[in-house]
Amino acid sequence: MPLSRRNRRCAVLMTTCVPFHVYISNESPHFLSSSSSSITSISVVSSNDESGGKGDDRAISVKTYFTHQRKRLNLPLSSDTSVADPLYSEVNIIGKYQFQIGDIINVTIILKDKEGNMLDTGGDDVRIWMKSIDGRYRTSGHVLDHGNGSYTGSLRAFWEGHPVILVSIAWTRQLLSIKDRLRSVNAPYIFTYGFFRKGHLWEVTRCNITKTAEKMCNYTERNGGHPWYCERPKTKLLSCSTLKSHQSVVAGDYHTSVEKLFIKRHPPHQILRRITTSVTGGTFRPLSRISCSELPESYTWRDDFSSGYSSRDNDTTAWYSQYCRYSIQHTVLDYKRCLTNRRLWLYGDSTTRQWFEYISWVLGKEMVVYEKYKPQVAYLSDTNSSIFCGPHEFPFNTGNRWTNATFNKPLKQYLDSIPSYSRDIVVFHVLAHLVNFGPDVFRGHIRRNVKSIKDFMLRVPKAIVVVKGTSTFRRFQRDKFGDMNAMSFDPILKEEFSVIMDRVIFLDFIPMTLAFEVPGLHPNVEVVKVMVHHLMGSVCGRN
């Protein structure tokens, strides 16, 4: 029987439900909840155009076939020993509890299991941040893993009062191992399908970054060299060139029963301690008052570059960097002056689309007729400028509707369209839609895009290129990867961009989003405003 509307599962990251019906064979009635099966192929129920030739793609129904999931690795998750336990772990400030503004606050963190035994290895994702009691001021720090179960967290005191220091185990090494295992056995949480059509004939097949069938349509070249394949339609009249659109659907929860129990007992983002300390006035001033737009690009890639704090006054929140100041105000006039005679390119996922929507709103440009995941442009005729937003290449979760296959273009295709005399600003971000595939796939995408960016900068020397780093967020759902990649993907960005980091600006948002305790992948408008102003403050006025 077809699944009812209320029983359909929502697509990962975009949280919107799949509109086409999925018919399940009697061999496996637990498609959306069982970890023992996975879709291996699909075929159309009918090739008749029931919509009378109007092409209502959303009316398509498909039939699924299943094979037994490959045998999983046995993980040592049945015991609580060697698992960090917040109740028994220790967090202590080193030395005094009384500080002055500008002092570095060091904290020792000893992870212990439920039996009180200190862990003998590192690898847990431990985080530290600090905020005023009323939340008006916020900052975050760095954590050093000593590899033996002990960690050192460091923060700088930026304001007076009695701030609260918070330390958490964001992800235990066991949780990270579970997620890595899921990705290594190629059990994705999302399946993407291709819709082929010619006249009244149509067919739906599965797409992936690897070949999953003997006969595949290879779209790697048009995907900018990033691997992308769809199974070739069985209908002979439907060639590979008849691919019209894509759609994604949740594949299911692939955790074993042991893993589910472990996650229930040891969920991510557990607070270890809340420590109140005291900070009095001091003579500290930021190390430099240089404008952020005058800092060398290579300086922005330093691990401690974005150390700073937030301050909220009269419902207005601002971020103050320790190392530079913004020479631009958050005003329509300043933003327009910065963008005069140039285009701001925002390339990436829905988090960069948030930037596009916010900047367009600030500059008084209402959204045109909006089609999800379609490239968008907002024009500012009075300044001869525009703002562009486009989704990155595949793999990309297209959500709950059939999306035009041409919407997702490789970065190189956009870069090649920019004239050599341009002073455009290009913002690059690839993250959310690649987390299901693991670090190696992410690195491959970054490496190919770095080559495109390098060639672009040689051809367009006056353009400004910006890399938007990853972010942290606290919301967790068992069948999703959460922010486990926040700490592991940024180092990959830094490694791959090292060959051109002297020409590319890096925006590190881990310190900011950690300080703000951002709950989900998509931050609220207050945080988006601070992020956008960090971008504008870093590029406006830069030669």
The span from the CA of 9 to the CA of 18, in Å, is 7
Residue 399 CB partners (closer than 8 Å, separation 6+)? 11, 14, 16, 247, 248, 372, 373
Assess whether pLDDT exceeds 70 at residue 150: yes
How far is C-alpha 221 from the geometric centre of its chain's CA atoms?
A: 25
CA 121 to chain centre: 28
pLDDT at 123 over 70: yes
The CATH fold of domain 72-189+251-284: Immunoglobulin-like (2.60.40)
Q: Residues 6 or more apart from 31 whose CB is under 8 A from it?
A: 22, 24, 37, 39, 64, 66, 252
CA atoms of 269 and 276, how far apart (whole Å): 20
Whether residue 176 contacts residue 230, with contact meaning beta carbons closer than 8 Å, is answered with: no
Please report which helix (H) or strand (E) contains residue 159, including its range.
none
Q: Worst-scoring range by mean pLDDT, 159-168, 241-250, 278-287, 378-387?
A: 278-287
Stated pTM of the model? 0.85
Q: Would you call 431 helix, strand, or coil by DSSP? A: coil
Give domain limits for the chain.
5-71+190-250, 72-189+251-284, 292-539
Mean pLDDT of 205-224: 94
pLDDT score of 398 more than 80: yes
Mean pLDDT value across residues 83-105: 93
State the architecture of 292-539 in CATH terms. 3-Layer(aba) Sandwich (3.40)
252-267 confidence digits (pLDDT tens): 778 888 888 999 999 9
Mean pLDDT along residues 201-208: 95
Interval 224-239: pLDDT, tens? 999 999 999 999 999 9
What is d(CA 345, CA 409) in angstroms, rounded to the nearest whole number? 13
pLDDT digits (tens, 9 = 90+) for 34-51: 233 333 333 333 333 333
Q: Is 349 within 8 Å of 372 (Cβ atoms)?
A: no
Measured distance CA(477)–CA(467) in Å, rounded: 28
